[in-house]
Structures are given as structure tokens and as C-alpha cells.
Chains A and B, each alone.
Chain A
Amino acid sequence: MSIAASSNSRYVSTSTRVPAIGRDIAVRANPSYRLETCESLPKATRAQLSTVVAAKDGVCVLVGTPGSALPAKLVDDSGARLFATLSRPGPVPDEVARDQLMGLVLDAVLEVDWDNAWVSGPLAYEALLGPSDPPEPTDRLSRLSYQAIARAERMPLGHETELCARLYGFGRLPLSRRWIRSYPGPDAVAALFDLDALHRDWVIGGGEGGRVDWLSFSRRGGMAAVRVPDLPYKLYVSPPIDALPAVLPDIAAALAANGAPHFKVGASAAGLLRPDKIVVYLVDAADLCVHARALAVALEGVGPHGVPFSAELSGDGLLSWGGDPPADAGPVGGGVESWRLSVCRRLAEYLAAAKRAPLRSLRPAQYALGRLAADGVTLPSFAPASLPVPGGLASPTGMS
């Protein structure tokens, strides 16, 4: 359980990923937040809130004061009581564990008195933990991921959404006319496969919600009933776009031969120019190993594109893995996040917060990576620490 995840923060004292703060320190509720009950909000704002949560009486939210740039937060009863109690500075309440306290401080809900100044968020991280470099990248994908973060750090962008888009899109190839002409839509992509074999082995689906971003393939037979949410492992297959006509039939055949339950392929040029153009959903680490080995054979000699923010499997970025976070891991009302989107969204939030803070020695990237590690993302591989690492292939090492 993460204690410091910025958007799904259940501050339960079960983890020690984040160093704890001593109990002898003075704390207070962040005065840049105001605790509001739903009934105290303007009618229109309440209507706004009701689009993502049951905005009934008694529901509490933390609302950032103008200029604070703090995200609004939904608060449960115990959180509201804690915040109200600490509206006057005082010692750490008994019901707050030391590691919980650190999570609350890093997420800027509470502030701590440090050297005669109240600090939270990146400033508190700098004061309490100091700058420390993350583990060095060990393979091509971790280097790509670190490059993406370094670039986002330098960008004159302060808004989380923009930063997240840059991080998530890192490594995409330009959508040129050549590729739009080659792959205008799903039919052109489907035509790359051996259609007879495809229809024999797979049920083909279109996009979700009327959009056709992906061509989805579900295994015929017993595994057809397995739903994607029940498949926690993702295997990313990342050949270059110009290799797809040669390799897609082989990929589909290898997956069918080894019983993969579900995979998807970008449904147009834009999707095929993504690094994560082919994603296989699998049930466990052993299954992932089986398919990765089969694909490594099928793709021998094929160069890699490479998926940033996924964990290396093949040593060159051709095959990598991740695991989707819980369905409610993202912001309330924000929809289900994929693994890479979850990582990028959190990195963007941390980078944006650090860019806004008057830090002295801590760099935004150091803060963002430190927080991400505290959230349960293994560095430098960007593998989910909550899932067993696939054995027999490159194992992520470093901090988590």
C-alpha cells in the first residue's frame, strides 16, 4: 500500500517506503487549503462536483486558495477531522503514524515546522530528506524514461496535463503523410495480419466508447471470458512501424500458439507510431515469461522502437512489461488509468509541484523520481513494485 500516492491517497500505516517524520515536530493543516463541506459550496460548483462524485451533504473537499495551484481533494470523515483539528498548529496527533504523516506532508495536506518555517510538498522533501540522485539507468528503456523526465523538467510547462502529455507521448514518431496514407484506419491495420488465421484464433473488437484507437483481439475458446481487468500484466511489443507488415502475423501466431487471452494493436498510423503499439494482457508473471520468450524467437533480428516507462525484458527495448494500477488509482472521476499513464500523471504532478516550489538544491526530477519510488514504482526499471517480477528475464533492480 502506498502512503504517498498523490491522487489516491489512503494514508494507512503499512508501508515504510517513505522515511518517517519524528513525532516531536509541530504540524498544522496547510492554510493554502480550505476544508469545505459540499453544502457550503456554491450551487454551480456543487453541480460541477456532482459530475464525479455523489455531492451530498456531509461530503468534504479540500479546496486550494487562489494562487496555490493545489488540486482539490475529496476527504473522508477521519481526514476532515484531522484537518480541522490541525487548523491550529500542534504536536502530531496520536492517531497519525509517522509514515502517514510524511505522506500527508508530501501531498501538501499538512505542513511541518522546519527551521522556523512551515513546509510541505517538495520543500518538505528537500528539508527532511535532501536531494538524492535516483538509481542510474541500466538499460535502454530506463535511459529513455530518464531522458523523458529530464526533458519535461526543462520544459517551460507548469501544468500537470501538459507535462503528462509530453511524458506519455515521449518516443512517439511524427504522424507523417506517408504513414497516414499507409494506415488510415483499422481496416488497413487488420490487413497486415493473416486474416484466415486471425479469424480462426481471435475475436476481433474495435475501440472503446465508439472510438477506434485500438484493434482488440480476444482469444476464442476458454480464455475468451477472461476480461482485461483480470489480467494484471502487460507485455509491450515494440517493433518499428516499418517492420509491422513482416512481423504482425508472426506475433499473432506466437500469441495464439501460447494461449494469450487478449492483445491489442494501434488501429491507425497514429497508434502504430506509438512505442506501445502492441500490448498483450496476461494473467501472471509466468505467463508473461512464456509469451516474452516466444515473441523473442518470433521477432529475432527485428529492431526495437522502445516503450518508455515500462520495464525492460529483452535488453534492447523490443519487449517490456508493466502492470495496470487499481481502477481507482487516479483522480476521482478521472477514469481508469493505464500503467504508463499512471506513472506519467504522477511524475507530471510531482514535477509541476517542484517547479512551482522555491527549491534550493533539490531538482524537480529528483523530487519526482523520489516520490514515484515512494509510490511503489521500482526504479530505474519503472516496474510496478506490487507485482512479482517475471523470472528468468532481466530483473529490475534499484530502489522501490
Chain B
Amino acid sequence: MSEFVFRNLSVKVFPVEGDRSCPDETVTVVACSPCTDLCTGTYRVCDDLCTHLESIPIVVGPYCRGPGTSPGYVDTQTDIILPAGDAVTELAALKESLRVAMSAVDVAEQKAQSDEGLSVTDGIDRLRSELLGAVAELDEYRGQLE
């Protein structure tokens, strides 16, 4: 019997042909809490602002995976535009994804600034409210398990 090797690749590879456009044309920025996951050992992607932007340059994908997903990037070392295609179109798409990402940064920045204005008691009240919400979520999860 023969041996056949089919090993998954850690990088995504575009099809030679096919639709590379993002099917989700109406991306919206979601305001979400900064990621609190400890990423050691697991993530190649660390996305503190939940924009799903890849933090390493070798990851590209033809599919939209959520708000702010970048369909490509410019490798700052080689100046190669990925995915390959019409440079003007690709750069426009990249600029648009950057705009979306910057919007997410703005949301987080505004939230951080508004937090700074909170009094200690306001902060405690808000934390209490968030904790109660988390407890309710836990109760719901426990209920599902039972």
C-alpha cells in the first residue's frame, strides 16, 4: 500500500480563480469589550479590539469573517499587495478595511475616555452592574446544563 500525505497548511492560500470579494458588503463596527483572553500558545491572531483584523501578515483570506475583516494587506517589508490583483482596487479595499478598523479604535478610545470621567462610586456601580449581568449569564448557562 502507498503512503499519501495531505498536510494542512498554516497559511491560507487563495484559489487561482474565483470570487475574492467580501460577501458581507455592509460591514458594521461593533463596540465590544477588549479581549481578555490570554493568548499565549494559541493565537496567531490577537485582536484586542475584536475587529478580527489579523495581526500577522501571512494570514489572508478570501472570505469575510466578520466586521472589520481585512481581505488582504500590504506586506510592509516587500510592498507586495495581497491578494494580488488590480493594485488600485486592492488598495482601496485595504483603505476601507483600515477605516473600519480605525472606527473600532475610536469606539474603544471614546469608551476609555468616558471611563476616565467616572467617579469611583460610578465605576463601582458600573462594575457591579456588569458583574450582576455576568452572574445572570452564568445562571442561564447553568440552567442549560441542568
Do A and B interact?
A: yes
Chain A residues within CB distance 8 Å of chain B: 6-13, 34, 36, 40-45, 47-49, 51-53, 61-67, 69, 71-76, 78-79, 82, 95-97, 100, 104, 107, 109, 147, 150-151, 154, 159, 161, 164-165, 168-169, 172, 174-175, 211, 213, 270-271, 273-274, 330-335, 338, 341, 344
A8-B7, A104-B6 given as contacts; is B1 within 8 A of A63 (CB)?
Answer: no
In B47-91, which residues have CB < 8 Å from any A CB? 58, 60, 62-63, 65, 78, 80-84
Q: Are B9 and A61 in contact (CB under 8 A)?
A: yes
Q: Are A332 and B9 in contact (CB under 8 A)?
A: yes
Nearest B-chain residue to A349, judged by Cβ: B8
Q: Are A333 and B11 in contact (CB under 8 A)?
A: yes
CB A74 to nearest CB in B, in angstroms, measures: 5
Among candidates B2, B41, B78, B83, residue contacting A95 with C-beta atoms closer than 8 Å: B2
Q: Could you say which of B13-21, B25-33, B95-103, B106-114 contacts chain A?
A: B13-21
Q: Are B10 and A334 in contact (CB under 8 A)?
A: yes
Residue tally, chain B, CB below 8 Å to A: 43
Q: Are A6 and B10 in contact (CB under 8 A)?
A: no
A66-B62, A96-B2, A169-B42 given as contacts; is B18 within 8 A of A332 (CB)?
Answer: no
Which of B11, B63, B145 has the most CB atoms of chain A within a 10 A radius of its CB? Answer: B11
How far does the alpha carbon of A43 sit from the alpha carbon of B96 in the complex, in Å? 24
Nearest B-chain residue to A168, judged by Cβ: B42
Chain B residues within CB distance 8 Å of chain A: 1-16, 18-20, 36-45, 58, 60, 62-63, 65, 78, 80-84, 141, 144-145
Nearest B-chain residue to A335, judged by Cβ: B10
Q: B36: which A residues are within 8 A, CB to CB?
A: 174-175
Q: Are B8 and A332 in contact (CB under 8 A)?
A: yes
Nearest B-chain residue to A62, judged by Cβ: B6
Q: A74: which B residues are within 8 A, CB to CB?
A: 5-9
How far does the alpha carbon of A100 sit from the alpha carbon of B15 in the complex, in Å? 27
Which of A6, A63, A95, A174 has the most CB atoms of chain B within a 10 A radius of its CB? Answer: A63
Q: B65: which A residues are within 8 A, CB to CB?
A: 159
Q: Are A331 and B8 in contact (CB under 8 A)?
A: yes
CB B100 to nearest CB in A, in angstroms, measures: 18
How far does the alpha carbon of A42 sit from the alpha carbon of B65 in the complex, in Å? 23
Q: B38: which A residues are within 8 A, CB to CB?
A: 169, 172, 175, 270-271, 273-274
How far does the alpha carbon of A274 sit from the alpha carbon of B41 in the complex, in Å? 12
Q: A333: which B residues are within 8 A, CB to CB?
A: 9-11
Contacts A/B (CB < 8 Å), 6 sampled: A9-B5, A64-B15, A169-B37, A172-B38, A331-B7, A332-B7
Among candidates B14, B19, B37, B62, residue contacting A165 with C-beta atoms closer than 8 Å: B37
A41-B16, A44-B82, A169-B37 given as contacts; is B8 within 8 A of A6 (CB)?
Answer: yes
How far does the alpha carbon of A48 sit from the alpha carbon of B2 in the complex, in Å? 30
How far does the alpha carbon of A273 sit from the alpha carbon of B40 in the complex, in Å? 12
| 5 residue pairs, one from A and one from B, having the closest CB atoms | A334-B10, A44-B84, A76-B5, A72-B13, A7-B8
How far does the alpha carbon of A11 sit from the alpha carbon of B4 in the complex, in Å? 5
Q: Are A45 and B84 in contact (CB under 8 A)?
A: yes
Q: Are B8 and A71 in contact (CB under 8 A)?
A: yes
CB B45 to nearest CB in A, in angstroms, measures: 6
How far does the alpha carbon of A341 sit from the alpha carbon of B40 in the complex, in Å? 11
Q: Are B7 and A66 in contact (CB under 8 A)?
A: no
Q: Are A66 and B43 in contact (CB under 8 A)?
A: no
Q: B62: which A residues are within 8 A, CB to CB?
A: 66
Q: Are A168 and B41 in contact (CB under 8 A)?
A: yes
How far does the alpha carbon of A262 sit from the alpha carbon of B46 in the complex, in Å? 29
Q: A100: which B residues are within 8 A, CB to CB?
A: 1, 4
CB A279 to nearest CB in B, in angstroms, measures: 11
Which of B20, B37, B63, B144 has the most CB atoms of chain A within a 10 A radius of its CB? Answer: B37
A44-B81, A66-B19, A161-B45 given as contacts; is B40 within 8 A of A213 (CB)?
Answer: yes
Nearest B-chain residue to A43, judged by Cβ: B84
A47-B78, A270-B38, A274-B38 given as contacts; is B9 within 8 A of A71 (CB)?
Answer: yes
Q: Are B1 and A48 in contact (CB under 8 A)?
A: no
Nearest A-chain residue to B36, judged by Cβ: A175
Q: B80: which A residues are within 8 A, CB to CB?
A: 44, 47
Q: B78: which A residues are within 8 A, CB to CB?
A: 47
Known: A72-B9, A169-B42, A333-B9. 20 other contacts (CB 8 A): A8-B8, A9-B7, A10-B5, A13-B1, A36-B13, A41-B16, A45-B83, A48-B58, A49-B9, A63-B13, A63-B14, A65-B15, A66-B20, A66-B62, A66-B63, A71-B8, A161-B42, A332-B9, A332-B10, A335-B10
